[in-house]
Chains A and B, each alone.
Chain A
């Protein structure tokens, strides 16, 4: 965390003249210069490449989490399932939940936000490109460390919420939960640096004329999400530190024998955990808020309401956490208060759903794949939202707590909500990111298969839950009446798996076809509204040849269309005349760097050290410190010194090296 302040560019060293290999200050690496091949990926600071890497890593983890889900469903397909032992089942469902939340849904959100925020606000990159790269690598390191627990003996088995005192050494004596702790502290660090970075980007780096209330709704929802992350992650981190002290150093925070109150963990976890729910869903809301207007050929209905309902969700998301704890004995006043606040949060969410419907109302609808997924989100999320309201009512929640009804609910909002939205986003922005579109026909089939599979898997869980089937049991006996719906649910899960395979197949097929056809992708294939469609596909490295000057919301659309007297859109300019060509050559971009990767690689060493041997921790610590200095002292860009601005030199009679730096700084294109 100490790296944020010293990130400050003014500390940066002056560099060489840009000819010949530049050496960095610690003399360990020569500055990477490649723009192709694997090295360009590991050293990149480009928000687009980082976004793509987030997406790719998330999809790999999605497959892992999906396999875990299938194991669960096979185990539960029939009564007295034999596939998994009780112990293994605990590990599998814990890792399924943890993976899907922290390593799939959150990073897919990060992927889209990293890729799109700078494009949608008309910026060339994020505010801190190297910090951004660090965020990705530390996320990956955390994810790998968490999953390495499978290979190192025992995976975490405390559930994704990891309640105390079950998470203590007494009840979980192997190291699984320590891996959970270390891995998630690292992904939390990734989220925190990402949040700082993207908040500063949104607040500071918008194109001229783009006021906050002209930002696209996706960027707005991303901004709200980042604020939620900013404030929620440290709560989880503090709880995880306490748990780490308990497990590794014998502290007593959750040690009931020493008089500790296990509800402390529940509170801290859900103070983080409820905003986390909105962290996962708001980016998907942003995605559909982009897709629906484009495929309805209408502006988003009630833009300010969309923005403010997003902000309202962000605020209210902080006042409802104890509805996860109605059954924990927090007292009638607390239960009543949190019950009411939970019902209220349905209001801004309802506003969003109504606005999406109103956007489609009377529009010229095109049911392309992204639109289908968007409509899928609106309908499935509404179902999940409604079952959510039933848990807001505390008497009914007391019945539902820890049953499959809850499992059904949160899969409807997370899978039916977030994941369908993200898949729609993939289909929507794929041409922009990769220069070829995913096949629409295959996409439509993909959508219907996933919709059917999803409803078959999670719909029956409502019934099972109300019949009384508890969550997190590894098997059930014959004769409870659970058999039929569990079997249906398992079939559904395999249909989802088929749909996921279809999605990957679509990528392969479409990519091969695009290569064979060698056609240039249009900049604006969907007749889009926001700025990312103004740049060529795939996006050139520098994003914008010239940063556009914004005059209104949906500026790009209004460059193409005016209105007739009935308010219908009338073409005023050909798209080809409005979009940029992507051939600007004089744009300076931040230079690639090895340090983000090196720094991120040091942290798991500390993590393993804490678990296995404190000396290893020392090694990792020194590694991290060296990397922080390397990162800080390395200039952000190797052929320009970023902080010169003409007006006055690096004054001060004793700044001799500063004076040497001046000639290079003069050459900077910044001014």
Chain B
């Protein structure tokens, strides 16, 4: 969608002439388009979006913080049911998926398409394991008597971790889509799309870092 930076040759020359003036530098992004910051529109947009996501998750985390010890409606609290070793392992899995993701980005930077697909698949798989773990945890909690509507703490717990789970799932869909496109040769070397998906993926991981500590570990 960056094609509207369409410029005629003269304008391009004019812009390039100006790059020597530091304050008005026009820098090419990695697709050869001229942007003021030197960052592609897509990547900047992703970061801007992630900045906004902080506020979304912040709202949900705060809601949980407010309600985490509130079971006036009866039923167990989330903290009564946590299985810390289990959650630690799934946190570790998600952390490692960040590693495989960054390796996928590095692979496409080198033009190593086979490795790119390997790492994409590994990332999706680790994400899938994490989600399976979450589903397992949820149904265990429900069996132990803490459903979504049991009390305010349980509602807040499921809303927060569920929102995060949806984000991970969307990430998995994106990874698989990228894998398919790459297998069909549609992701050329130097394409930024993997890096942008990666930013999203790492952000989801970073949110889990916060959730793991704030929700699970701090009593």
Where the two chains meet, the residues of A that have a C-beta atom closer than 8 Å to any C-beta of B are 1-2, 4-11, 13, 123-131, 192, 195-197, 199-200, 203-206, 208-211, 230-235, 237-239, 241-242, 245-246, 249-253, 255, 257-261, 264, 268, 546-547, 549-550, 586-590, 629, 636-637, 640, 642-648, 650-659, 668-671
Q: Looking at the complex, which one of B14, B155, B184 makes contact with A245 (CB distance below 8 Å)?
A: B155
Closest to A642 in B: B3
Known: A230-B52, A252-B149, A651-B188. A2 touches B170 (CB 8 A): yes
A-B contact pairs, 30 of them (CB 8 A): A5-B199, A8-B196, A124-B6, A127-B41, A200-B41, A200-B44, A204-B39, A205-B35, A211-B24, A234-B56, A245-B159, A252-B154, A253-B67, A255-B152, A258-B151, A259-B71, A260-B67, A549-B14, A590-B1, A590-B4, A637-B3, A642-B3, A643-B31, A644-B32, A645-B32, A648-B189, A650-B189, A654-B185, A655-B186, A670-B32
A616 to B15, CA, bound (A): 52
Are B188 and A10 within 8 A (Cβ)?
yes
Complex Cα distance A2/B178, Å? 13
Cα–Cα, bound, A648→B30 (Å): 12
State A590–B3 Cα separation when bound (angstroms).
6
B84 at interface, CB cutoff 8 A = no
**Partner pick for A10 among B56, B170, B191, CB 8 A cutoff:** B191
B6 touches A234 (CB 8 A): no
Chain A residues with CB below 8 A from B14, complex form = 208, 547, 549
Shortest distance between the CB of A265 and any CB in chain B (Å): 10
- CB A288 to nearest CB in B, in angstroms, measures 27
Whether the Cβ atoms of A670 and B185 lie closer than 8 Å is no
Count, A-B residue pairs, CB within 8 A: 256
Q: Is the interface of B mostly helix, strand, loop or mixed?
A: helix
Q: Is the CB of B42 within 8 A of A7?
A: yes
Q: Using A636-B1, A671-B32 as known contacts, say yes or no to A259 and B152 having CB atoms under 8 A apart.
A: yes
Determine whether the beta carbon of A230 is less than 8 Å from that of B42.
no
Check: B164 CB closer than 8 A to any chain A CB: no
Q: Which residue of A lies closest to B153 (CB)?
A: A252
**B55 and A235: CB pair below 8 A?**
yes
Q: How large is the interface on B (under 10, 10 to 19, 20 to 34, 35 or more residues)?
A: 35 or more
A128 lies within 8 A of B152 (CB): no
> Chain B 5-43 against A: per-residue CB contact (8 Å), 1 yes, 0 no?
111101110110010010110100001110111010110
Task: Report the separation of the CA atoms of residues A650 and B46 in the bound assembly, to the nearest whole angstrom.
Answer: 24
Binding site for A on B (CB under 8 A): 1-8, 10-12, 14-15, 18, 21, 23-24, 26, 31-33, 35-37, 39, 41-42, 44-46, 48-49, 51-53, 55-56, 58-60, 63, 66-67, 70-73, 111, 113-114, 148-149, 151-152, 154-156, 159, 163, 170, 173-174, 177-178, 181, 184-193, 196-197, 199-200
Q: Does A670 contact B188, Cβ atoms closer than 8 Å?
A: no
B2 touching A127 by the CB < 8 A rule? yes
Note all chain B residues with C-beta closer than 8 A to A671. Answer: 12, 32
Q: Is the CB of B46 within 8 A of A5?
A: yes
Q: Which residues of A contact B185 (CB under 8 A)?
A: 652, 654-659
Q: Give the nearest-CB partner of A128 in chain B.
A: B1
- A658 and B188 form a contact (CB under 8 A): yes
Cα A668 to Cα B181 with chains together (Å) = 23
A286 to B120, CA, bound (A): 46
Given the contacts A5-B46, A670-B32, A234 and B59 also touching, CB distance less than 8 Å: yes
Q: With A259-B73, A261-B66 given, is the CB distance from A589 to B4 under 8 Å?
A: yes
Residues of B within 8 A of A5 (CB): 42, 46, 174, 193, 196-197, 199-200
A251-B3 in contact given A204-B35, A646-B32, A657-B185 (Cβ < 8 Å) = no
The answer to whether B44 touches A10 (Cβ under 8 A) is no
Given contacts A249-B149, A264-B63, A588-B6, contact A10 B192 (CB under 8 A): yes
**With a CB–CB cut-off of 8 A, which chain A residues contact B55?**
231-232, 234-235, 238
Given A208-B18, A255-B152: A9 and B1 interface contact (C-beta under 8 Å): yes
For the complex, give the distance between the alpha carbons of A203 and B42 in Å: 12
Distance A159 CA – B196 CA, assembled complex (angstroms): 40
CB neighbours of B70 from chain A (8 A): 259-260
Q: Give the distance in Å from the alpha carbon of A505 to the alpha carbon of B202 in the complex.
A: 55
Residue on B with the closest CB to A653? B113
Complex CA distance for A123 and B6, rounded to whole angstroms: 10
Q: Check B45 against A128 for contact (C-beta < 8 Å).
A: yes
Docked-complex contact B196 and A652, CB < 8 angstroms: no
Question: Nearest B residue to A267 by beta-carbon distance?
Answer: B62
Question: Could you tell me the distance between the alpha carbons of A203 and B149 in the complex, rounded to whole angstroms?
Answer: 45
Could you tell me if B41 and A128 are in contact, using CB atoms closer than 8 angstroms? yes
How far does the alpha carbon of A149 sit from the alpha carbon of B11 in the complex, in Å? 51
| A-side contacts of B113, CB under 8 Å | 652-655
